[in-house]
Chains A and B, each alone.
Chain A
Amino acid sequence: MQEVLNTFSKSITNNPLLNKTEELNLTSLIKKGNKKAREKLIESNYRLVLSISKKYYKPGKTRVSFDDITQEAAAGLIKAVDRFNPDLGFKFSTYACWWIKQAVLQYINENSSVIKVPTHSRLLAAKIKNAIEEYKAEFMNEPTEKEICDLLCITPEMLNTTLKANDSILSIESDDDCCDDEANSKGLISKISDSSMNPEQELLHEESIQNIKQCLALLTKREEKIIRLRFGIQENSTDYINFPITNDEIERLKND
């Protein structure tokens, strides 16, 4: 972030703010194809780029970096320079402001989440959030679903779909915010409880299995054989005493 600020501050100090006459002169030169005039107008308005970028940069809330926002804002400024029409009588900064905001918002919308949500849905989600906060501040309690719908003139289906679509997504590999020590921070995955048994439970489980195995000894040879046949459990091929060779098998061996 500091690097970007340094780069821009150099341009800002070298290019002081322009007055309306200077802007008009530069735009007329740009229309004639003067590249230096174009550069001058762009560099003179970097203040606007920085101020808007700072406004939209929310560390921790979105995944986008300040450098990227500034880059997009500068692209918006270039678009504004190319499309500015001084004949309409407005100042350049008034016109450029909208293009810069548009570029920044579009970038944030496309990159703030892993899943892309349409801009109208994201804007509606922001409206819903603001409406809830305003309601809370005014009435000191949470608004109901119907009240939000009435406030924003939307249907309950729209409300639910918008809120569901704009739910924040966290990766289990993402950094653990509560842990300041970088070496100890192993991401959210380290906070998920271990479902495996502790040593005591494991011992008890092992004991239960041993008990059940002892219970299996109660089965007679006939019963065990039937269960083995039923479940397709292989008999011990060398245990001829407990599992004698069948007459069918003898016949089959003879035929072979």
Chain B
Amino acid sequence: MIKKYVTVKENEGKNLQEISSIMCSQGYKMNHNTVRNIINSSFFKIIKEINEKQNLHLTKTQMIEISMSNKFQTTIADLLND
């Protein structure tokens, strides 16, 4: 599987360590691995729901690939920004 990480620094995005420390300060105790897992599972959750709603008939592997893709993640981030 090709792993591509989304560039987040351009939009003042934070790295996993920074996010974990912010979340800890807000009462959500977690380390950077947990942050990464939450990000991945969130995107997977979204693509799974889209697959069901739009009848895309994607396999689990395809869904994992899409959820980790640069294009998908930035698109979702753009929609959150709207």
Interchain CA distance A223-B22 in the complex, whole Å: 13
- Provide the main secondary structure of the chain A interface: helix
Measured between beta carbons, the chain B residues less than 8 angstroms from A227 are: 39, 42, 76-77, 80
Q: Please give the distance in Å from B80's CB to the nearest CB on chain A.
A: 5
Q: Which of B10, B25, B38, B73 contacts A226 (CB 8 A)?
A: B38
B80–A231 touching, CB < 8 Å: yes
How many residues of A are counted as interface, with CB atoms below 8 angstroms from the partner's CB atoms? 27
Q: Please give the distance in Å from A72's CB to the nearest CB on chain B.
A: 57
Q: Does B58 contact A (CB under 8 A)?
A: no
Measured between beta carbons, the chain A residues less than 8 angstroms from B45 are: 218-219, 223
Interchain CA distance A219-B80 in the complex, whole Å: 11
Q: Please give the distance in Å from B7's CB to the nearest CB on chain A.
A: 10
Q: Which of B10, B39, B46 contacts A216 (CB 8 A)?
A: B46
Measured between beta carbons, the chain A residues less than 8 angstroms from B11 are: 231-233
Q: Please give the distance in Å from B70's CB to the nearest CB on chain A.
A: 12
Interchain CA distance A246-B82 in the complex, whole Å: 23
Interchain CA distance A214-B73 in the complex, whole Å: 16
Interchain CA distance A229-B22 in the complex, whole Å: 9
Q: Given A222-B28, A247-B25 in contact, is the A231-B50 Cβ separation under 8 Å?
A: no
Q: Given A228-B80, A232-B13 in contact, is the A246-B26 Cβ separation under 8 Å?
A: yes
Interchain CA distance A228-B26 in the complex, whole Å: 15
Using an 8 Å CB-CB cutoff, how does the interface string of B13-35 with A read, 1 for contact, 0 for none? 11000110011011010000001
List, sorted by A's number, 8 A–B pairs whose CB atoms are closer than 8 Å: A211-B54, A222-B28, A223-B41, A226-B38, A226-B42, A229-B22, A230-B13, A247-B26
Kindly list the 3 A-B residue pairs having the minimum CB-CB distance in the complex, ordered from nearest. Answer: A232-B11, A232-B13, A232-B12
Hey, which bits of chain A sit against chain B, CB under 8 A?
Answer: 208-209, 211-216, 218-219, 222-234, 244, 246-248
In the complex, given contacts A211-B54, A229-B13, A231-B13, what are 18 additional A-B residue pairs having Cβ atoms less than 8 angstroms apart?
Answer: A209-B79, A214-B53, A216-B46, A216-B80, A219-B46, A222-B23, A226-B35, A226-B39, A226-B42, A227-B77, A229-B19, A230-B8, A230-B13, A230-B77, A231-B77, A232-B12, A234-B81, A244-B26
